């Protein structure tokens, strides 16, 4: 298959990255801290800004802004995923299958990820809302403020959200917003 990626220099992108077979590997502080460390390591050599993020047990949604003149988010994701896999406890890794042995891949991540180029401020905010509401959508918490692995509380601190936003209501998103 031929996948076409959006290539916008210095662009802003929404991503969905999923674990292999949707295995729930982000369920404790150890795995979350390993993921954070992997992000930090990549950001040192390949800078980018994380505008919004949520880490759920089996997938990640985030928005990044790349530096001017740079459109290489694929390399960043490859390094983040491989760093996490190498640094993770053996219990996170499942045995390899025949199709992955030749490439020495572990069953930690889906091979691909989904990206969407953010078009404007309205598109950006709709995706930020989607990211922050996602733990509620999946029934993990009743309020976005209750999910610890999210940028939601940073947005509250910056007065971009009320701390009760998304609590006690169902928010429906238009088609084209987010990707599970």
DSSP secondary structure string, 130-145? HHHHHHHHTTS-SSGG
Q: How confident is the model at residue 97 (pLDDT cuts 50, 70, 90)?
A: low
Please tell me the distance from the alpha carbon of residue 32 to that of residue 55, in angstroms, as a whole number: 8
Residues 140-152: pLDDT tens digits? 999 999 999 999 9
Burial of 56: CB neighbours in 10 Å, binned 0-12, 13-18, 19+: buried
**In which residue are the tokens 């490859």 written?**
78
Predicted structure pTM score: 0.86
CB distance 94 to 172 below 8 Å: no
**Residue partners of 8: CB distance under 8 A and separation at least 6:** 71, 117
**Residue partners of 171: CB distance under 8 A and separation at least 6:** 129, 133, 136, 137
Please tell me the distance from the alpha carbon of residue 173 to that of residue 84, in angstroms, as a whole number: 31
Q: Which of 130, 149, 155, 161 is catalytic?
A: 149
Q: How confident is the model at residue 112 (pLDDT cuts 50, 70, 90)?
A: confident
Domains and CATH numbers, the chain: 12-119 (3.30.70.1290)
Q: How confident is the model at residue 107 (pLDDT cuts 50, 70, 90)?
A: confident
Q: Is position 149 annotated as part of the catalytic site?
A: yes
Q: How confident is the model at residue 30 (pLDDT cuts 50, 70, 90)?
A: very high
How many residues appear in the chain? 180
Residues 119-134: pLDDT tens digits? 999 999 999 999 999 9
Instruction: Identify the weakest region by mean pLDDT among 30-39, 73-82, 122-131, 171-180.
Output: 171-180
pLDDT score at 111: 83
pLDDT score at 175: 77
Residue 180 has pLDDT above 90, yes or no: no
Express as a percent the part of the chain with pLDDT over 70.
Answer: 83
Residue 44 half-sphere exposure toward CB, CA atoms < 13 A: 5
pLDDT score at 102: 44
């Amino acid at each position: 298959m031929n996948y076409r990626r959006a290539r916008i220099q210095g662009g802003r992108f929404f991503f969905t990255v999923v674990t292999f077979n949707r295995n729930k590997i982000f369920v404790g502080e150890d795995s979350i801290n390993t993921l954070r460390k992997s992000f930090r390591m990549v950001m040192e050599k390949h800078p980018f800004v994380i505008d919004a993020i949520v880490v759920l047990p089996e997938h990640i949604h985030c928005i990044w802004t790349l530096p001017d003149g740079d459109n290489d988010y694929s390399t960043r994701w490859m390094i983040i995923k491989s760093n996490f896999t190498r640094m993770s406890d053996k219990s996170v890794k499942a045995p390899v299958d025949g199709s992955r042995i030749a490439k020495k891949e572990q069953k930690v991540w889906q091979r691909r990820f989904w990206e969407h180029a953010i078009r404007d401020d309205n598109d950006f905010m709709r995706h930020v809302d989607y990211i922050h509401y996602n733990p509620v959508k999946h029934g993990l918490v009743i309020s976005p403020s209750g999910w610890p692995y999210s940028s939601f509380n940073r947005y509250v601190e910056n007065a971009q959200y009320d701390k009760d936003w998304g609590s006690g209501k169902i928010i429906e998103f238009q088609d084209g917003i987010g990707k599970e």
